[in-house]
A and B are shown apart, each in its own frame.
Chain A
Amino acid sequence: MNRIQQLFEKRNKNILNVFCTAGYPKLNDLVPIVESLEKSGADIVEIGIPYSDPSADGPTIQYSNGVALKNGMNLKLLLEQLKDIRMTVSIPLIFMGDINPILQFGMEAFLQACQTIGIDGVIIPNLPLREYEEMYKPLFERYEQSNIFLITPQTSEERIRKIDRLTNSFIYVVSTYAITGGQLAVDAQADYFNRIKAMNLNNPTLIGFGIGDHNSFHAACQYLNGAIIGSAFIKALDGSNDVKVTTEKFVKSIIN
């Protein structure tokens, strides 16, 4: 059983997954941020690999990517920064990033490095299912990385079932038709979330996109196993002069 499965085995409600961009706001902020996220009660951390041209992200995450790249972040350095992360952090850690920097690094080398560090899963939004199955699935399995897929209100039941068979951690439920950074009226999506819940999938489900504060987080948790917060945390970190304090304050404001 992997770390993500263990987490949901222990608790399958109110799971808080927080996204941060590696190298933002400062080049070396990632490790203290991840440590503070765990300490203040986040359940999973999703670490964004910065990319110059992110396809599904709004201005906030685009901005954090730009800052991180300007700070000098790259995939090699990111892996180096996380080298000893498992000495201080035990919650599940996942990577999220565009496929291109990963392909340039080498898919196998990347997955192998993930395993060595103790990363649990990877979200590559623009890696298609077909290419994953045909080319990369054995590599993900060899290095014990869970491929975490997105579904949307348009994803067919058949496809959701297929995704459910192909993964072994959780399914990322994109809340609505939007790029990241908007605000979601959670209850307006009740039918969609209830439909997913009624499918009784093997994997737990987390809601992302448009979740950014106490109310939207808890509203989302009424429907599925938890939620993912990204842009709101990135905004909170902007201009922070103590990322540990900012992180703890932010997570507390969501949970309590």
Chain B
Amino acid sequence: MTYQANKYGYYGQYGGAFIPEMLHNNIETLQNKYLSIIESEAFKKEFKSLLKHYVGRPTPLYLAKRLSERYNTTIFLKREDLCHTGAHKVNNTIGQILLAKALGKTRIIAETGAGQHGVATATVCALMGIDCVVYMGAVDIERQAPNVKRMKMLGAEVRPANSGSKTLKDATNEAMRDWIANPNDTHYIIGSVVGPHPFPDMVARFQSVISEEMKWQLKEQTGKEDPDYVIACVGGGSNAAGAFYHYLDNDIVQLIAVEASGLGVDSGESAATTILGKPGVLHGSKTLFMQTEDGQVIEPYSISAGLDYPGIGPVHANLFETGRAKFLHATDEEALTAVLELSRLEGIIPALETAHALAVLKNMDFKQEEVVVVNISGRGDKDLETYIKHGLDKK
């Protein structure tokens, strides 16, 4: 069984490219060219070089001793928070900006939730001297203010999305509409493993560097390259896709994806897609997402802007359906507790998104000798205001 996309971008029943004709040319061009571009020697050389010298890869794989003691097991942290700009998102934007250049595009658009993908996009656009417009939900502009300032400092224009719930899904809608209106000069750098084929596969490939490094780093430190568990949070699912990528066909490795359940799965204020969602078509692909009986998109909720998305990428919908990955969830409250725990035990303040992955450690039944890798997708600087608001500095 393969968990990778087929040539039409389907993962089992999920995926595809459900796009209006206005996007057909751009998507078809990408479908026809992305593999030959990103697998060319010239591309690989430049991509690897930028990841090393600009992003700061490889990111450390750190044996978290005190956290391991707390949970009676062996926990490694994959430190994507140490990437330039503070999250894994930049792995993808470096790849896509090089692709956009190869396609001759002169303008970049992106959507962002937590602002991490927006910052990572603004960063690579500054690096390459390319115009950049980032769409961000008006609500998210409020709750992730420092990242808005960063994007502006980097020279990007931040356009508020005022439709719908004014969060990530609406920013995605606005970016798609921009692309429809500007198909010739513009490339849309999607920030997760979502959207029409080939975006999910392309983004997963760019993020796969995470598990590629994990393998040799684990081998170096433990003698074997396969852990017993890999745990990652899932918004659209790009950090999880990257952390799982090289383990997908290795059933020994248990893959744990953690969704945000907001105020609780049954509270009506949640983003736990695999529990609350149904198959349908959202943002250009067939996948699982939260919707009414009539097929209208339900506005999700999570304290974490990066997980506040009604769907998951098609690769994850398939991992869920096949049972290859186990999907767990964590509430706002549990995530905040996990933030403080990692801060105090390891001296690492994680992003709110990442904290959801950490929050399930307490529910797992690990054995002492098992090896667990948690993907630390990002750092908490952008969330400081939220942490202070919840009194984490006073505990």
Contacts and interface: CB of A to CB of B under 8 A. Distances in A.
A101 B295 contact: yes
A155 B180 contact: no
A233 B184 CA distance: 30
Contact of B169 (A53, A58, A151): A53
Nearest to B20: A125
B22 A150 contact: yes
A52 B296 contact: yes
Nearest to B289: A100
A197 interface: no
Interface stretch (A174-182, A186-194, A242-250): A174-182
A150 B295 contact: no
B52 interface: no
B199 to A, nearest CB: 15
Contact of A179 (B21, B181, B282): B181
A128 B176 contact: no
Interface in B283-297: 284, 291, 293-297
Given A75-B294, A101-B296, A128 B180 contact: no
A128 B196 CA distance: 11
Contacts of A69: 296
B311 to A, nearest CB: 11
Contacts, number: 101
Nearest to A77: B294
B155 interface: no
A69 to B, nearest CB: 6
Given A74-B294, A76-B294, A149 B177 contact: no
Contacts of A100: 280-282, 291, 295, 297
Contact of A52 (B21, B24, B278, B297): B297
Interface string B131-172: 000000000000000000000000000000001100001100
Interface in B2-22: 8, 16-22
A105 B295 contact: yes
A151 B297 CA distance: 27
B25 A154 contact: yes
Given A69-B296, A151-B21, A104 B181 contact: no
Given A55-B173, A100-B280, A177 B180 contact: yes
A127 B18 contact: yes
B264 interface: no
A57 B164 CA distance: 13
A111 B391 CA distance: 56
Contacts of A103: 280-281, 295
A56 interface: yes
Given A53-B164, A100-B281, A174 B18 contact: no
B20 A55 contact: yes
A151 B25 CA distance: 11
Contacts of A127: 18
Contacts of A179: 177, 180-181
Interface string B183-208: 11000000000000000000000000
Interface residues of B, number: 33
A126 B176 CA distance: 12
A75 B141 CA distance: 34
Nearest to B22: A152
Interface string A180-208: 00000000000000000000000000000
A10 interface: no
B177 to A, nearest CB: 5
Contacts of A128: 16-19
A155 B282 CA distance: 23
B182 interface: yes
B16 A56 contact: no
A62 B297 CA distance: 14
Given A55-B173, A100-B282, A178 B181 contact: yes
Interface in B265-287: 278, 280-282, 284
Contacts of B293: 104
Given A100-B280, A150-B20, A177 B296 contact: no
Interface string A145-177: 000011110110001000000000000001001
A92 B337 CA distance: 60
Contacts of A51: 295-296
A131 interface: yes
A112 B282 CA distance: 24
B18 A131 contact: yes
A158 to B, nearest CB: 12
A103 B177 CA distance: 22
A139 interface: no
B173 A53 contact: yes
A130 B8 contact: yes
A209 to B, nearest CB: 9
Contact of A55 (B8, B176, B280): B176
Contacts of B163: 59, 62
10 contacts: A57-B177, A58-B177, A75-B294, A76-B294, A101-B295, A126-B281, A126-B284, A159-B24, A177-B182, A179-B180
Given A55-B176, A55-B177, A151-B21, 4 more contacts: A100-B280, A126-B281, A128-B16, A130-B8
